[in-house]
Structure 1
Amino acid sequence: MDITRVKVVTNKPTCTYLAVNVRGNVKYGIVTSEPLLSTLTPALIEKNEDALETSDFILLDSNLPVPLMTKVLEIAKKHEKQVWLEPTDIDKVKKVFSTGLVDAVTATSPNANEFLEWAKLCQVAVDPSVVNSADSVLELIEKEKTRLLLNTSLFVVTLSNKGSAVVYRNNLGQLEFQSLPPPIQMDKIVSVSGAGDSFNSGVIAGLTHNKTVVESLRIGQECARLTLQTTLATSEAINSQLLK
């Protein structure tokens, strides 16, 4: 593993996370990340601008402080890079809007509650019941596409056992709307923790290996399916063979 860009902070604890699962669902999540994240500065991002400039995709996590997110998005916009935003949490969705550079985000994957908050920040009035089905979400996005999609070319709303609502731009720049079924039957789920990250990773891996959006979504679904069947953060069964 190449660790030449790893920054070691000796006086702060490594970020840790504990999930309390009840019948496969995360009931509580306890995280310790703020002490370490607070030591990071925009200067650190600038120092590694060349890594962002040469990347295929920039994955931006909303746990990061707003100044760091701002600097990443500035660099991404400067070099015309694709940015996948991981909203992380309903209370952290607003961070990317605080940067004033949300238009630099080209892909995102909010869950139901994060999507409702996203819509609110886009000043779109939404009945919370809209997230009861993927089709309802797709209908809303189609109606309010200019305000909701902003500059994204891939927008995935994950709805747990109701599947996912996906909107993406095809090669002609036209919007495509697609609903995906749940990756696995609910009674086979061991833990949902890590499934969203596994899905995102699978989709990004597919896109960076020149797969179509539909093929990449299929890879993401398979990665999520595998992780849902384990208590691990990501299933050990996920490997490069899924790209073939």
Structure 2
Amino acid sequence: MSKLTGKVAIITGGGSGIGRAIAELFAAEGAHVHILDLNAAVGQTVVDYIVSLGGQAAAHACNVSNQAEVAAIVATIGKVDILVNNAGVAHVGNLEKCSEVDFERIFQVNVKGAYNALHAVIPVMKQHGGGAILNLASIAAVVGIADRFAYSMSKGAIYAMSMSVARDYIADNIRSNSISPARVHTPFVDGFISKNYPGQEAEMFEKLSQSQPIGRMAKPEEIARLALFLCSDDAGFITGNDYPIDGGFIKLNN
């Protein structure tokens, strides 16, 4: 039997990148996947692919920063066994180059978005006997990354919320963990480099790749496999932990 047979999973930002890889793997492992994505079209593309392979999935157009919107979607889904908070946006700049508008945008999506999903899903998990929560943090939560002030703030909050939820709901059979990736090669990264380093794309891609001691960026599928383990019953004794998946970035960059 597959690892997630009969499970219902919500994945925010599941229409592309890491979220898409998680959605596809979870569906392949038997989960009924619900993708919440601001871009309804990309979410539906992933759903169509999953269904074509015999999996179960549904797409929901959703602005995760809108609490009422998230709550309404969760209410239509009903039972939820797994929540993956993956939706997020980035910002380049130190504190002085981070405007109030920039800060608010990062906070609304990365922090409030995760809070909104947790706020809607945890009562449902309690009602149905428990569940597994996985939040996508970042190495930026625990080490200083140049020119990532607002992004680092948001991922530090994700880490802290993960631990708080793990402590508060352990008696409800709800497990909560986080993953802290280093750089992952996704279409988002390619677009990010093109936007912020025009004319230097190849140079910056290589520089960012080599910042991991292992010498490359991670693949989304590698993040998805760790997510699968932590959300499956195989990890039933694991809660309140953060898992760097960083090619040695935190410990070996010396």
State whether TM-score is above 0.5.
no
**TM-score normalised by L of structure 1:** 0.34
With CA pairs under 8 Å and 6+ residues apart, which has the higher RCO, 1 or 2? Answer: 2
Structure with bigger helix share is: 2
